[in-house]
């Protein structure tokens, strides 16, 4: 049985997670936040005293992740880490461990296992290239660096966290550089992916655009 998959890739703070979640909710599909798996790996490695640059050590941590996703609640080894994995510190760690080929290999099948009927919407950096290369719809969702920095700033301050806009912009630039130049599945728009620039677009419009593209696909295939 072929499971319907929508793969949404893009840089940090582009809004792909929010868009993917809402598209999945409208369609009644499952949702995969691949970034959460890398954040969980970074957090678990830090808790185990494994340096983020230790490829073999971090890969071993990734293979043994005891993680449970329950809606927006995420537990690691029975501990609720929903907020912990969203910190800027762990976000930096996630970007670093995601650049390690052995870690990406360790998490490959775990991500593919999310594809279950009636369908899946997955977001990340290599959803359309590596995880689900045969996805029926591939989207590259992006925004200018300035817009993404402002969104992350508002997100953090909205949670009551201290944030510095200039520092956030510098961090996003560093993450973009790592993601674009990593040796395995670098961040890029694939030839068969639709480009969605959300710089001047609200979430509702972005969601409607992806849903429109999906309906076009399903109409053409019926």
Contacts of residue 108, Cβ cutoff 8 Å, sequence gap at least 6:
130, 131
User: How far apart, in whole angstroms, are the C-alpha atoms of residue 157 and residue 142?
Assistant: 22
The predicted structure's pLDDT at residue 222: 57
The predicted structure's pLDDT at residue 178: 86
φ, ψ for residue 51, nearest 5 deg: -65, 140
Q: Are the beta carbons of 21 and 141 closer than 8 angstroms? A: no
**pLDDT tens track, the chain, 222 positions:** 689 999 999 998 899 999 999 999 999 999 998 989 999 999 999 999 999 999 999 999 999 998 888 777 889 999 999 999 988 899 889 989 998 999 999 999 999 999 999 999 999 989 999 999 999 999 999 999 999 999 989 988 988 888 899 999 998 998 888 888 888 788 899 999 999 999 999 999 999 999 999 999 888 765
Q: Where are the beta strands (DSSP E) in the chain?
A: 4-9, 30-33, 67-70, 73-76, 79-80, 119-124, 137-142, 194-197
User: How far apart, in whole angstroms, are the C-alpha atoms of residue 26 and residue 211?
Assistant: 9
Q: Are the beta carbons of 59 and 102 closer than 8 angstroms? A: yes
- Look up the CATH architecture of domain 4-220: 3-Layer(aba) Sandwich (3.40)
Q: Which two tokens stand for residue 114?
A: 């999310």
The predicted structure's pLDDT at residue 41: 96
Q: Where are the domains of the chain?
A: 4-220
């Amino acid at each position: 049985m072929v499971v319907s998959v929508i793969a949404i890739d893009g840089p940090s703070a582009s809004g792909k997670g929010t868009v993917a979640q809402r598209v999945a909710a409208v369609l009644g599909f499952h949702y995969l936040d691949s970034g959460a798996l890398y954040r969980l790996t970074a957090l678990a490695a830090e808790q185990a005293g494994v340096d983020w640059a230790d490829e073999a050590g971090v890969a071993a941590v990734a293979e043994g992740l005891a993680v449970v996703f329950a809606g927006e609640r995420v537990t690691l080894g029975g501990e609720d880490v929903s907020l912990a994995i969203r910190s800027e510190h762990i976000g930096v760690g996630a970007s670093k461990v995601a650049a390690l080929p052995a870690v990406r290999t360790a998490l490959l099948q775990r991500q593919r296992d999310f594809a279950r009927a009636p369908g899946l919407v997955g977001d990340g950096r290599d959803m359309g290239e590596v995880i689900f290369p045969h996805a029926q719809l591939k989207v590259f969702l992006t925004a200018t660096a300035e817009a993404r920095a402002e969104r992350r700033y508002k997100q953090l301050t909205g949670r009551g966290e201290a944030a510095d806009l200039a520092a956030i912009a510098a961090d996003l630039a560093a993450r973009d550089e790592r993601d674009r130049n990593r040796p395995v599945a670098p961040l890029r728009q694939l030839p068969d992916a639709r480009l969605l620039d959300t710089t001047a677009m609200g979430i509702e419009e972005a969601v409607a655009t992806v849903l429109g593209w999906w309906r076009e696909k399903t109409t053409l295939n019926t």
